[in-house]
């Protein structure tokens, strides 16, 4: 893996440290996490501090009304996984919707809101692995919420795109559209109600969110708009530890959270790509994009059929990742011809934050937190300062579908943390944000490092492509010549000036005793080492 770069070209150097490293998509979150490490906290402490800050200063992307997943490798060993996703209300049955003639869950309604899982997951991780008090960890976030924070460029860009949506929700508009418009770069905003909720959780733990005044207001807000949620649904929310799933690729093992997350799709893409010599200098950039696109189409077709809550419908992960099964998917790929795309009718999701931390003892955490869409459902509980996600859009109202809604069921999730191990040791916690892109992004990032020898920062910087919903979208840093080559193979190509996803990663170099951090130029964030 390269650790140097051309210093005459635009780009970022790897961050370098030895006693700890953090990488987040917002500078305030990176500083908060870094300060926790400097004060003696561990990787879990720092991750919680960082995500809490980001829930305040980056409310378009994430919030305490959302969900999270984590991969955690204690002492840099084999990772464990935590599923912090929320569940449907106990009253949410297919019959309820059928009786009312509802064929699909409407966006921006309480029926799209599952019980938020993030706070429960944070508290679970902290109780099991944290070392500093929650009051210390939440202090930076509370400070920003109560005293204010400045809007950074990417936050302003995303916030403005959600203004029309926020305007449709009176309470959310009051908080998030001051003066009737989204705040601009450098503007100052505060979220005092959210600060009070964070103070309550810091003092009293998860009960302060899932019981009492906060839960009372959230449930009342949802029910006033026709939701099925009850206080019992909130009190019953719990996260759980699960065994990660994994696949070998180019001499390393890539670990993902199991379903109901889409990490399985990332592993399927990698397993398909492993049958091609992507390290070969004879392959063109168009060849690599084409192979990645075809593997993505195959994996996502499979994902949309089988990835669901395994507590309701078990998924045979070993069979899906077996060579006979993967070979059937791989054999359908021709280097010279794109396969037809299939129609896709699931909810589009773009808004997530990902962060990673490695501490002085090489505890490594890969952590992702999301509201699903921009500002989630935009349903806002003003006294609690909580905007609620709309992760329920991952459910179907079709009998027999793997993701059919059911009482206390978890929907299919797009958010996925990743972890690379080698010889049983963690070598790189990583993640790629970007909604539906995330599985494809994991495979792209891993291939750039382990097939092409790029550093994590170079792999993050590399131009991205995404084959989705019948279109192969290319970032506008990809050349027109490559686009024409792909069109000749049958792809419908479209350029985009919008950033595709966002990435953070930390490489653990045990031989040198060094840590290398990377963070995406498409976001505002920083990687900081000690």
Point out the residues that are catalytic. 352
Q: Which residues on adjacent β-strands are paired with residue 527? A: 23
DSSP secondary structure letters along 453-497:
---HHHHHHS--EEEETTEEEEETTS-HHHHHHHHHTT--EEEE-
Half-sphere exposure at residue 258, Cβ-oriented, CA atoms within 13 angstroms:
20
User: How do beta strands 240-242 and 245-249 pair?
Assistant: unpaired
Phi-psi sector, 400: left (phi>0), alpha (psi -120 to 50), beta: left
Token digits of residue 337: 């011809």
Distance set, CA 229 to CA 113, 357, 527 (Å): 9, 35, 40
Torsion of CA 500, 249, 251, 418, to 10 degrees: 50
Q: Which of 32, 65, 35 is nearest to 143 (CA)?
A: 32
Q: Do the beta carbons of residue 420 and residue 325 sit within 8 Å?
A: no
Residue found under tokens 């500093």: 132
Cα Rg of the chain (Å, integer): 22
Q: How far apart are CA 424 and CA 214, in angstroms?
A: 43
Distance of CA 84 to the CA centre of its chain: 12
* 435 annotated binding-site participant: yes
For 153, left (φ over 0), alpha (ψ -120 to 50), or beta?
Answer: alpha
421 neighbors 256 (Cβ within 8 angstroms):
no
Read off the tokens for 422.
């080698």
Name the helix (H) or strand (E) containing 118.
helix 118-129
The answer to whether 472 and 293 are in contact (CB under 8 A) is yes
Cβ atoms of 130 and 97 closer than 8 Å: no
Q: Give, for 123, the enclosing helix (H) or strand (E).
A: helix 118-129
Feature table: binding site: 435
Question: Residues comprising the binding site for L-glutamate?
Answer: 435
């Amino acid at each position: 893996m390269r650790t140097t770069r051309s210093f005459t070209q635009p780009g970022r150097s790897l961050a370098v440290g030895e006693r700890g490293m953090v990488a987040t998509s917002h500078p305030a979150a990176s500083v908060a996490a870094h300060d926790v490490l400097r004060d003696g906290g561990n990787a879990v402490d720092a991750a919680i501090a960082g995500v809490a800050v980001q829930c305040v200063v980056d409310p378009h992307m994430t919030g305490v009304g959302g969900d999270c997943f984590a991969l955690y490798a204690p002492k840099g060993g084999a990772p464990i996984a935590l599923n912090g996703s929320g569940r449907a209300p106990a009253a949410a049955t297919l019959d309820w919707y059928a009786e009312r003639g509802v064929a699909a869950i409407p966006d921006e309604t309480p029926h799209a809101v599952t019980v938020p899982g993030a706070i429960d997951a944070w508290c679970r991780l902290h109780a099991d692995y944290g070392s500093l008090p929650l009051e210390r960890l939440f202090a930076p976030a509370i400070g920003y919420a109560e005293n204010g924070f400045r809007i950074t460029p990417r936050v302003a860009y995303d916030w403005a795109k959600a203004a029309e949506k926020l305007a449709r929700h009176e309470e959310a508009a009051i908080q998030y559209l001051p003066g009737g418009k989204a705040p601009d770069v450098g503007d100052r905003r505060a979220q005092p109600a959210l600060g009070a909720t964070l103070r309550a959780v810091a003092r009293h733990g998860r009960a302060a969110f899932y019981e009492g005044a906060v839960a009372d207001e959230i449930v009342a807000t949802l029910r006033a708009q026709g939701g099925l949620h009850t206080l019992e649904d909130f009190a019953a929310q719990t996260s759980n530890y699960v065994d990660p799933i994994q696949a070998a690729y180019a001499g390393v093992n890539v670990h993902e959270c199991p379903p109901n997350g889409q990490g399985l799709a990332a592993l399927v893409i990698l397993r398909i790509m492993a049958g091609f010599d992507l390290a070969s200098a004879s392959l063109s950039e168009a060849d690599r994009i084409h192979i990645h696109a075809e593997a993505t189409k195959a994996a996502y077709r499979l994902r949309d059929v089988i990835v669901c809550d395994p507590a309701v419908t078990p998924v045979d992960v070993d069979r899906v990742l077996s060579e006979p099964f993967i070979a059937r998917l791989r054999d359908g790929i021709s280097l010279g011809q794109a396969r037809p795309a299939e129609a896709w009718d699931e909810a589009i999701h773009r808004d997530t934050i990902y962060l990673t931390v490695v501490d002085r003892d090489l505890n490594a955490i890969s952590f992702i937190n999301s509201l699903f869409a921009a500002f989630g459902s935009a349903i806002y509980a003003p006294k609690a300062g909580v905007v609620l996600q709309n992760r329920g859009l991952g459910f179907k109202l079709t009998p027999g579908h793997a993701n059919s809604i059911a009482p206390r069921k978890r929907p299919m999730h797009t958010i996925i943390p990743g972890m690379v191990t080698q010889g049983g040791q963690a070598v790189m916690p990583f993640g790629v944000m970007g909604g539906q892109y995330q599985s494809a992004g994991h495979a792209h990032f891993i291939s750039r490092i382990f097939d092409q020898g790029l550093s994590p920062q170079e792999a993050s910087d590399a131009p991205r492509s995404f084959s989705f919903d019948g279109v192969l979208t290319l970032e506008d840093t990809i050349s027109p010549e490559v686009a024409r080559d792909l069109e000749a193979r049958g792809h419908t190509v479209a350029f985009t000036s919008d950033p595709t996803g966002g990435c953070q990663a930390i490489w653990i170099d045990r031989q040198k005793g060094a840590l290398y951090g990377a963070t995406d130029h498409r976001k505002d964030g920083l990687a900081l080492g000690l």
